[in-house]
Amino acid sequence: MERQGNSLFLRIYLAAMAALAWLTVLSGTYVIYPWYRAAAPAGTTKLSAFPRALLLASPATRVWHSLGMEWKEHVAWLAPIAITMAAVIALQYGSQLRHHPRIRTALSGSVLSSLLAAGIVGFFGAMLDKNAPVEGGSTIHLDGGE
Amino acid sequence: MGLQKSILAQELQIRSNGSAAAAVLACGIGSILLAIFTVAADKSAALKGLLTIYKPAGPLSGVTTAAILGWLVVWVLLEVSWRRKEVSLTRVDVIAFVLLALSLLATFPPIGDLL
């Protein structure tokens, strides 16, 4: 009974994670990303509303776009691919996973891969947000905190 | 005899690993497709234009759409071929995770630029 409960929890949990991952990449690509890459009109001097242009305007912040954003925007899509695979396997096999140790290993690996992709994206997302729309400016600096 | 039949019936009901192997390998192939389309769109202006299916998001829209469609097609084909089969999952796991790692590396701009 407890085993069936765990299996049901795993299936619901992974399905919810997959749905959230898709929601995140779709909204990120089709809602947030167009704001990020919007071209600044000619003659614009205040670039805080144009994060990509703001980052590219200074050699000190250019790398956050050319490395951070360029990687993040693609790697993000690996997370839903990997977690969807894990969710579908959990839904297909359910409590039968106990008979398949190698499938459990593959499932764990895919969840970790998804976590790694999300971690990379989260890190660069936080750094980009810190350096472009929130603070702007021409240099990268780390706040010491209060 | 009855117990043996019951165990046999249970064994027969155990699903083969083919569906899981199909999902795992498709995941690896989908990942590498994403990297291939990313690098190709970066190298070719014509492909970049072709993959810009939603202008505000640029070629990213087409790169990801093409990779996802490729991943799903491969998954369906593998599922149909393997669903009732026992597959060497160790080999499939290794191939899939190598493809996933290559995808992570190839989409990393300093490495992607070298390709």
- Say if B11 falls within a structural domain: no
Q: How many domains does chain B have?
A: 1
- Chain-chain contact of B60 with A33 (C-beta, under 8 angstroms): yes
- Say if B1 falls within a structural domain: no
- Say if B6 falls within a structural domain: no
SS (H, E, C) B46-102: HHHHHCCCEHHHEHHHHHHHHHHHHHHHHHHHHHHHHCCCCCCHHHHHHHHHHHHHH
Whether the predicted pLDDT of A136 surpasses 70: no
- Say if B44 falls within a structural domain: yes
Residue type, A57: A
Greater pLDDT, A145 or B72? B72
Number of residue pairs across A and B with CB atoms under 8 Å? 97
Greater pLDDT, A129 or B53? B53
Greater pLDDT, A45 or A74? A74
- Say if B108 falls within a structural domain: yes
What average pLDDT does range A111-116 have in this prediction? 95
Number of Cα atoms under 13 Å in the Cβ half of residue A19: 6
- Chain-chain contact of A102 with B63 (C-beta, under 8 angstroms): no
Give the model's pLDDT for residue A49: 78
Chain A positions in Cβ-Cβ contact with residue B64 (cut-off 8 Å): 25, 29, 74, 77
Give the model's pLDDT for residue A142: 44
Q: Strand, helix or coil at A51? A: helix
CA nearest to B35 within chain A: A74
Chain B positions in Cβ-Cβ contact with residue A38 (cut-off 8 Å): 56
Q: Are B112 and B45 in contact (CB under 8 A)?
A: no
Whether the predicted pLDDT of B11 surpasses 70: no
- Chain-chain contact of A92 with B104 (C-beta, under 8 angstroms): no
Write the CA distances from A111 to A23, A24, A55, integer angstroms. 17, 16, 33
B-interface mutation test, from A22, A66, A70, A74, most B Cβ less than 10 A away: A74
Q: Choose among B24, B57, B100: nearest Cβ to A29.
A: B57
- Say if B61 falls within a structural domain: yes
Domain of B36, in residue numbers? 16-112
- Say if B5 falls within a structural domain: no
Give the model's pLDDT for residue B2: 61
- Chain-chain contact of B60 with A74 (C-beta, under 8 angstroms): yes
Q: Choose among A34, A70, A99: nearest Cβ to B57.
A: A34
